[in-house]
Structure formats: C-alpha cells, structure tokens
Chain A
C-alpha cells in the first residue's frame, strides 16, 4: 500500500481562462485542511471537482488521488468521498431510516441486518426510534446528525464539508462541529472543509489555506 490520505496534485480550476483555485496538498488520514475565501472564490466548485461532479463551464487541471489511487476519471459513486453541505439535503421523500439505508453500503446484506445497522447508527447520533419519521419533522440539529450518519454509513475514505455548520445556531454549531471532527479523527478520514468562518478553521485544528 502506498500513500494514505487525500492528495490534490497541482489541482487548478479556471473559468473563462481565469484561474480561481490552485491547490497542491496532501491531507493525511484524520487531518482536516480548511480552505477559506470570500463567496464567489470557487470554494464550492473545488469540492464539486473533488467529489467528481465539476459544474459545467469550469476547466480543471491536475489530479485527485485517494490513498494513492487516481480518482480523476472516476464518477462520484466510485470515489468514496462523502460530502456535507450547509443544508442537510436529507431526501424529503424517504423516511429518516430510509435516508440512512440509502447511504449504507450494499455489503451489509439482509433486511434485518441492514435495519439493525441503521438503528445502531441512529442511536449513536442520539436519534433512537426515529427511523420512521418524516425528515421534515426533525429539528435542525437532528437533521444535521442524520445527514452525518447517512454519510458515514457509506464508509467514505475522505470527507468534504461545504460550509457545513454555517446554518446551525451557535449552541448547536459547536456540538455538531465536534461530532464531525472527532468522528473523522477517530476513523482516520482526511477532511477538507471550505468555510468563511474562522471558528470552523479553529475547530478543525489543521492547516488553513486562504484563497
């Protein structure tokens, strides 16, 4: 096994010939790199590119490698890179449990086993017994935790955060932030977050790149 972690190799994103983002970095397992910049600086585009869905109209150069494997030509579903947005984006037509089951990898086989795994994940996030609930009826903090658990059940090898905490109110923000970064450190997952909030960068505790 070669290198571990998320490597952005001379990654450059440009629009209409104007360079927006240029990054060359290795994010090691459990490390969190923060990219800061004003809105319109291409932060979200950077994450879309790494996730494998570059928006039309942008040109991309360089490579994305995860644990030594070149991801550049792979579609998003083959990259094992999870993403959390400012909005939780729980699927509104599925129950909370079905949302988590959507993320759960297919190698967990059998209805009972899958259901048990979802229940355990809900319990870990303090959402016991909420599997049948309509996501629209959850509180902001519950939604954020459900979205996090859905993403973790897909066993991502890297994690992207797009202003993931900015919509939560101050009390909740610290709690969810700690949950995400602690989990990432424990699981040894490299994290790349983009934000305009200095407190997010401080909580991540890693390097900070300013655009």
Chain B
C-alpha cells in the first residue's frame, strides 16, 4: 500500500501493508492462472492434459461471438462516457445550487442500492407492462394490453446502459466530490470569470484537467465494470446472445464440465477486451487533451445558448439517474404489496401483505447469510485498512501512485476473468467454496472501497493530536485507540457502511466461489430474473436494498448519539 519516503529506522516492519498487498494480488494472479491454463486446454482435473488451441477454436466457432463482443464493448464505452459527461456537467454547471445539494443528499442511498435491485426497479419502470407504460395507457398510447415490444433486454443493450449509468453516476459523483477540494476550483473559477469566461467553459478549461487526473482510476474502474458486469446484464441485458461475460458464466455453470475450457477461453477474451478498451480510452484521453489544449489556446469565452443547453443536459441526466433508482425502488415497494394488478391500471388492488407472508419466511436464511458474510468481509477490510493507514502514519510512509493502482486492481480486472479461474483452481484442488472462501472473495472487493473511503479523512486528521497524546505519556496504541479512532468514528463507520453495501451487492463472487452452495439475498434475487414473478422479485430486491442501506443509517446515527454532547465532533 505504501512505499518508504523517509529514512527513519522503524522498530517493527510494517506488516499490514504487505499482508494487504498479498490479499489483493494473490487471488487476482492465482485466478488469472486458473483461467489462462484451461483456456489453453490444460487442466488435468478436467481431463485437459495437453496444451491445445481447442478452447479458443470452439469459442471462435460460436456464431454469436461477434455480437456478444460488440455488446460488451459498446455497453462499456457508452455507459462510461455518458456517466462521466453527466457528472462533469453537473459539477461544472450546478455546484453550489439547490439541485446540487439535493443530489449530494441523495448520494448515500443512491450508492448503497445494489446493482441488481436498481436493475429490477428500472425493469419494472420501463418494461412494456411497467409503470411508465401503465401511466400513459390507454389514454395516450391506446394500449389495452402490454405492447409486444422488447424494451427491457433490448438487443442493443440500451436498457442495460441506462441501468449502468443510473448506478455509475452516483459513484463518479462521489469520487469527484472527494477530488474537488484538492483541485481548488473556486480560485480558478474566479480567475476565469474575471477574464470573461462563461461559467461552464471556464470550468472545463481550468478545473476539469485537474479533476479528471484524480478521478481517472475510478473512471477506468467504471469502464471495466460496465464491460463485464453480470448481474445487471442478466436482468436488463439482451439474452440471445447476452454480453460475453454472461455467456462465460453460463458456460461455467453448465453441468457439462468440458464447457469450462470454452468458458476459460471466453474469460481470457473478456480480459483482452477490457485491456483493449482501456488502451482505447488512454488514446481517447490523449486526443481529448490535444483538442482541449487547442480549445484553451483559442481563448474563446464560451457562453450563449449552448452553455445553457449543456447545463440542462447535465441536470437531466443526473435527475434521470436518481429518478430511475428511486422510482424503481418505489415500484418494487408497490409490487411487493400489490394484490391483483391488471394492465393498464396505474395502481394495483390492495395493499395486501399476502406476498410478504408467502415469501417472507424464505428470506430469513439467505438474509442471515448475507449479513454474516458482509459483516465478516467488512470487519476484515476495516481492520486491514486501519492497520495499513496506522503503519503509514507511524513509519512516515507516503502512498505511491502504484499503490493506488494496486488498490484498484480487483475493480479493474473483470470479475469473470479471475473469479472463474479461482473456481477452477478450487475444483482442481478438491476444495469446495463454502462461506469462508466467499468471505475472503468479498473482502477482495470490499477492501478497496473501505480503504478509499477512510484514507482521505485519516490523512487529513491533525497529526498533532497524536503528538500531544504521546507527549502526555500515551504509547502509540493508546494514541490510536483512545484518541485517533474515537475522533475518526464517523468516517470509520461510513467506510464500514460503504464496504458492507459493496459486499451485499456482490453477485458473481458468491455464485462462483460459493459453488452455488452459499445463498445470499443477491444470488436469490438475480436467480428470480428468469422467472416472471414480479412480487417475489420485488420482495427479494427490497430485502437486498434494506441490507445495504441499514448500515448507512447506523453510520449516520451512531456518531450522533455517541457524540451528542460533543459539539466538536457532532457535525464534523
């Protein structure tokens, strides 16, 4: 996590950073090997004794491959570009406004809604028999029955792109908010305005380059994620053929074990696609930078109608993103209490608790599993994060840019590309997943979020407080536990909540590492996608959302109660 910047001798070698690096690096590289070997035909446990090109030949013989590949690339690039554009327009055009503050307040709930629940909610909105069609029918559309239109799971992946944008805008927005103070936008904006630049033009010419430099890794993570997402793609994406990642998981889960060689080849192709897309994005960055420099040198002051339209576009995209998630959740809630709900009625008969009574008891066990896994993965991640950050403070280490890349590694390497490999290795070694393995796999994706969320407040904390405690006779342990951690209670709990929500939302690690034996509310909810029971889907999605959202409420409430008599920490 860190590299030495000071020549000061330390009594204990910083163990935590090494351990954390191992936790991040080992599974990803082992998983890569577990994919690479069978993709070349080698996996003795499955009867692959010799290297061969057969898996790739079979993969390329799949007639739908070009379409699956095109979907993966188009969905990834489109979702990333639209999300980034929306966030930049919102920050450039609306900072300090009421709309902006409203969006800031909506951020935590928007972030915590799991991808699968957001996808189901969106599907219930835009489906031919969804809320939007019902609201417009029959008076505007003339539809007495749901139209025979493929809106959800459309062949071009448009609804999948919409779902991804709705979830990635909040993520990039949060990362941008964290990056803004360092870019000192206020000063640059003031200078640009004084020189006669219109607000939006001035922001893009002065602040954007600095902000983008800082949110670059999150943007790359969004690109890689959007290209290889599985749970959202099962719900919103086309199915014949699906995006490549979904097809890889289908092959992985096929009872015919020989298909795993083809799955491995597909996972390698997915990895290659993401690598190629990242390279393409780097090229795009260079091109935009060159054009941007020319644009800046041109000295145009901007303004006019164009600027107004762009501001409006930013607001519309952000409102669409937040609205899709919130209205989707509302739709899920109504479905869960719905009695009979014939098309085109805008509201169902009811409300009734029938669906909750029918599906409620089945929720208990997967819910307990979900909470247990999330709590364990979050506790492990929080412990390693605090140990790393404390080692950084004690040994005077400075984080390097490379360490940050390492942290983003599990978020940038597509999940299908190494989780399938881990599953294959476990199979070869005769291990079957189980809860412990799933917790470890979750920690891999929870740790980066916990670390990114806590590192900022940790490093901003006034280290003189620790020095005061030490000069008063407190050892390093007491300075940590009696001073630093209590003062950082709020950010530590927020980091835990972010990690918890990330774990609750994990689909693929639970499915692949758990070998189907570990059932969480997320795996159960996604499994319902193929059926059409909207009431069951609504209940499982709401349970999933509640599991992710509850820790955020706790993180907001606990410091308020613990520090109710401490004005210095109450609002901090």
Q: Which residues of A contact B567 (CB under 8 A)?
A: 134, 136-137
CB nearest to B7 among chain A residues: A59
| In contact, A51 and B568 (Cβ under 8 angstroms) | no
| In contact, A103 and B473 (Cβ under 8 angstroms) | yes
Known: A56-B6, A83-B468, A154-B473. 8 other contacts (CB 8 A): A53-B470, A56-B8, A76-B471, A80-B473, A85-B468, A87-B464, A134-B568, A151-B471
B contacts with A, residue count (CB < 8 A): 31
Chain A contact surface mostly: loop
Q: Which residues of A contact B474 (CB under 8 A)?
A: 77, 102
In the assembly, what is the distance between CA of A10 and CA of B489, in Å? Answer: 43
Q: Which residues of A contact B472 (CB under 8 A)?
A: 77, 82, 102-103, 150-151, 154
Q: Which stretch, A88-96, A114-122, A195-203, touches the partner chain B? A: A88-96
Give me the 6 closest cross-chain CB pairs, A-B, nearest first: A92-B568, A56-B396, A56-B6, A76-B470, A136-B567, A136-B568
CB nearest to B570 among chain A residues: A136
| In contact, A92 and B487 (Cβ under 8 angstroms) | yes
Q: Which residues of B contact A151 (CB under 8 A)?
A: 471-472
CB nearest to A102 among chain B residues: B472
Q: Which of B397, B471, B563, B569 contacts A156 (CB 8 A)?
A: B471
CB nearest to B474 among chain A residues: A77
Taken residue by residue from 140 to 152, chain B's Cβ proximity to chain A (1 for < 8 Å, 0 otherwise) reads as 0000000000000
A79 close to chain B: CB less than 8 A: yes
Taken residue by residue from 90 to 131, chain A's Cβ proximity to chain B (1 for < 8 Å, 0 otherwise) reads as 011100000000110110000000000000000000000000
Q: How far is the CB of B469 from chain A (nearest CB, A)?
A: 7
Which A residues contact B (CB, under 8 angstroms)? 48, 51-57, 59, 75-77, 79-83, 85, 87, 89, 91-93, 102-103, 105-106, 134-137, 150-151, 154, 156
In the assembly, what is the distance between CA of A103 and CA of B473, in Å? Answer: 7
B316 close to chain A: CB less than 8 A: no
Q: How far is the CB of A154 from chain B (nearest CB, A)?
A: 5
Q: Which of B8, B396, B476, B569 contacts A93 (CB 8 A)?
A: B569
7 contacts between A and B (CB under 8 A): A54-B8, A57-B396, A75-B470, A76-B471, A83-B468, A103-B473, A151-B472
Q: Which residues of A contact B470 (CB under 8 A)?
A: 51-53, 75-77
Q: Which residues of A contact B456 (CB under 8 A)?
A: none
| In contact, B5 and A92 (Cβ under 8 angstroms) | no
Taken residue by residue from 472 to 492, chain B's Cβ proximity to chain A (1 for < 8 Å, 0 otherwise) reads as 111110000011001101000
Q: Which residues of A contact B482 (CB under 8 A)?
A: 102
Contact (A56, B398) CB under 8 Å given A103-B473, A150-B472, A151-B472 = yes
In the assembly, what is the distance between CA of A52 and CA of B5, in Å? Answer: 18
In the assembly, what is the distance between CA of A57 and CA of B563, in Å? Answer: 36
Q: Which of B7, B398, B471, B487 contacts A51 (CB 8 A)?
A: B471
| In contact, B473 and A135 (Cβ under 8 angstroms) | no
CB nearest to A55 among chain B residues: B396
CB nearest to B392 among chain A residues: A56
Q: Which residues of B contact A87 (CB under 8 A)?
A: 464
Q: Which residues of B contact A82 (CB under 8 A)?
A: 471-472
Q: How far is the CB of A77 from chain B (nearest CB, A)?
A: 5
Q: How far is the CB of B395 from chain A (nearest CB, A)?
A: 8
Q: How far is the CB of A27 from chain B (nearest CB, A)?
A: 17
Q: Which residues of B contact A79 (CB under 8 A)?
A: 471
Interface centre among A82, A92, A150 (most CB of B within 10 A): A92
Contact (A53, B568) CB under 8 Å given A75-B476, A93-B487 = no
| In contact, A53 and B566 (Cβ under 8 angstroms) | no
Contact (A93, B486) CB under 8 Å given A56-B5, A56-B8, A83-B467 = yes
Contact (A83, B471) CB under 8 Å given A92-B569, A134-B567 = yes
In the assembly, what is the distance between CA of A49 and CA of B486, in Å? Answer: 27
| In contact, B475 and A92 (Cβ under 8 angstroms) | no
B97 close to chain A: CB less than 8 A: no
Q: How far is the CB of A109 from chain B (nearest CB, A)?
A: 15
Q: How far is the CB of A56 from chain B (nearest CB, A)?
A: 3
In the assembly, what is the distance between CA of A85 and CA of B469, in Å? Answer: 13
B297 close to chain A: CB less than 8 A: no
| In contact, A53 and B7 (Cβ under 8 angstroms) | no
CB nearest to A82 among chain B residues: B471
CB nearest to A154 among chain B residues: B472
Q: How far is the CB of A65 from chain B (nearest CB, A)?
A: 17
